Chains A and B, each alone.
Chain A
Amino acid sequence: MGRQRVKFTFNDDLVKEPIIYMLGRDFHLVTNIRRADVGDSLGWVVLEVDGEKEEIERGLQWVSSTGVRVDLVSGDVLQG
């Protein structure tokens, strides 16, 4: 089992998509939202994702593929 802390940032119409629900349904991941700010055209959600390591990897790749930006909660790791 694995666990990952991530931040999803939604642009434009993606705000209306049930991305987190589908992450749980299709990849059998448990999601736990800790902080969020969602507006009409932009929003972010900070959450913890629990599940099989491979499924977390696949699930986060799928989230990225939808156009949602996926960042680690650690912030900007790669710096100047």
Chain B
Amino acid sequence: MAFVSGLRCRECSREYPGEALNVCDFCFGPLEVVYDYATISEVVSHDRIAAGPLSIWRYHDLLPASGEDPVDILAGFTPLLKARNLGERLGLKNLYIKNDSVNPSFSFKDRVVSVAATKAREFGFETIACASTGNLACSVAAHAARAGMRSVVFIPSDLERGKVIGAAVYGPTMVAVEGTYDEVNRLCSEVGDNYPWAFVNINMRPYYAEGSKTLGYEVAEQLDWRIPDHVVIPSASGAMFTKIWKGFNELACLGLLDGVDAMTFGPDQNTVHHPAITTRMHMAQAEGCSPIVNAWVGGQNQIRPVRPDSIAKSLAIGNPADGIYALRVIKESDGSAYAVPEPQVVEGIKLLAETEGIFTETAGGVTVSTLKYLAESGAIGADELTVAYITGNGLKTQEAVEEVVNPLYIRPSMSSFEEALQGSPASASL
């Protein structure tokens, strides 16, 4: 069973039952899950977690859906890799990569969708749906297939072929919308109001977003129940950024971190900050869509919307719904926010691939380039424990790095091979 007491408005604190709701009727603020932490603290333990499956559902006590029969394609428990080569290049001796690009549908979205799909089935929905530029559509369609549910995915009509195929293969009803970003948004919100479907990031949003907390739990568990000194996280809406912070603080408050005393959560569970959580949260956005970074750099507590024009399409949200909450986390954690110049997005992809053998999508390029900036500027010390989150797989955005394809064209003979080899990087090792 899930230890959920209900939902609460993040703005006015009005309370609601734990149903398929996402907006406060009174002030239209976002609703968040309220947990029964008193009961959770009685049952949760390192041993109980370790006895669970090698997926996000090992943390089911801290998730808002029942872990007894989840919709699970084994999302999560992805590798935390000690990045020696990249660390050496950047002057960081204690650098780790959280490689979430190897989730079943190749992005971190499997975490949030697994929770949303499980909750949707609990509520009795037979169809799950989403609007997506790629990663989310793949994950929704995959989880629906696993659950035996119907899925409807809305995509922009000009979406890259690779992403379309990556979602279509699971057999969803795919709707390609001819329109702008804003028009797709409005249409899907209207559809959500008129059809009895579980839209993972509309009426399921309070539950869906909680899945990202597992990115915090896993890193702590993989570090033997310690937290990093620094984390670098790519951001679009800002929701994942805030949930990783929440995950660290939940573990501390429940006494699950090594050497940290438990603490009560207080009246507002979503803003609790345990003094032992000293991780500095660094946000990464691409310059072509960096509304949260702009607000941080400008010292504003409001987000000025932008029109996205970035190669990092999975981060291209111009008016991020959780932006102001993410700003508070940056401030509270003494973190920072950086906008990567667009040409450096691809450089970041290549740097990670060439040093650690991990092929990430454009969002990962944003993360790695931000990490590089933080290391070179001295914001991260050489010995500090640092984790960079890589949230999507490079196979989804291959067109971004097409320039790397530059083979030696030869005839099928040794002489042609040896002639071509002269002057190539491989000749240096002869």
B-binding residues in A (CB < 8 A): 5, 9, 11, 34-35, 37, 39, 42-44, 46, 48, 64, 69-80
Contacts and interface: CB of A to CB of B under 8 A. Distances in A.
Given A42-B302, A78-B184, A71 B131 contact: no
A75 B205 contact: yes
Contacts of A77: 131, 184-185, 188-189, 192, 199, 201-202
B192 A80 contact: no
Interface of B: 11, 22-23, 26-30, 107, 109, 130-136, 154, 156, 181-182, 184-186, 188-189, 192, 199, 201-202, 205, 236-237, 300, 302, 304-305, 313-317, 319-322, 363, 392
A42 B181 contact: no
B403 to A, nearest CB: 23
B307 to A, nearest CB: 9
Residue from the set B184, B305, B316, B322 with the largest chain A CB neighbour count within 10 Å: B305
A35 B188 contact: no
B364 to A, nearest CB: 12
Given A80-B109, A80-B236, A9 B22 contact: no
Contacts of A44: 302
A69 B134 CA distance: 25
B319 A9 contact: yes
A35 B28 contact: yes
- Please report whether the interface of chain B is mostly helix, strand, loop or mixed according to DSSP: mixed
A56 B81 CA distance: 52
A35 B109 CA distance: 31
B76 to A, nearest CB: 18
Contacts of B189: 72, 74, 77
Contacts of B237: 75-76, 79
Contacts of B392: 80
Given A42-B300, A46-B28, A76-B317, 19 more contacts: A11-B304, A42-B304, A43-B302, A72-B186, A72-B189, A74-B185, A75-B22, A75-B201, A75-B237, A76-B237, A76-B320, A77-B131, A77-B185, A78-B188, A78-B317, A79-B201, A80-B107, A80-B316, A80-B363
Nearest to B392: A80
Contacts of A5: 23, 28
Contacts of B205: 75
B16 to A, nearest CB: 15
B202 A74 contact: yes
A75 B305 CA distance: 13
A34 B29 CA distance: 9
Contact of A37 (B302, B305, B314): B302
B29 A35 contact: yes
A77 to B, nearest CB: 4
Nearest to A44: B302
Nearest to A75: B321
| List of 10 A-B pairs having minimum Cβ-Cβ separation, nearest first | A80-B314, A75-B321, A77-B185, A78-B131, A72-B189, A74-B189, A77-B188, A76-B237, A79-B136, A69-B305
A78 B304 contact: no
A76 B320 CA distance: 7
B319 A71 contact: yes
Residue from the set A11, A39, A69, A80 with the largest chain B CB neighbour count within 10 Å: A80
A74 B134 contact: no
Nearest to A11: B304
Nearest to A72: B189
A40 B199 CA distance: 37
A80 B201 contact: no
B181 A78 contact: yes
A9 B307 CA distance: 13
B185 A78 contact: yes
B23 to A, nearest CB: 6
B11 A80 contact: no
Contacts of B319: 9, 69, 71, 76
Residue from the set B132, B185, B314, B316 with the largest chain A CB neighbour count within 10 Å: B185
16 contacts: A9-B304, A35-B29, A43-B302, A71-B319, A74-B23, A74-B202, A75-B202, A76-B236, A76-B237, A76-B319, A77-B201, A79-B135, A79-B201, A80-B134, A80-B236, A80-B363
Contacts of B22: 74-75
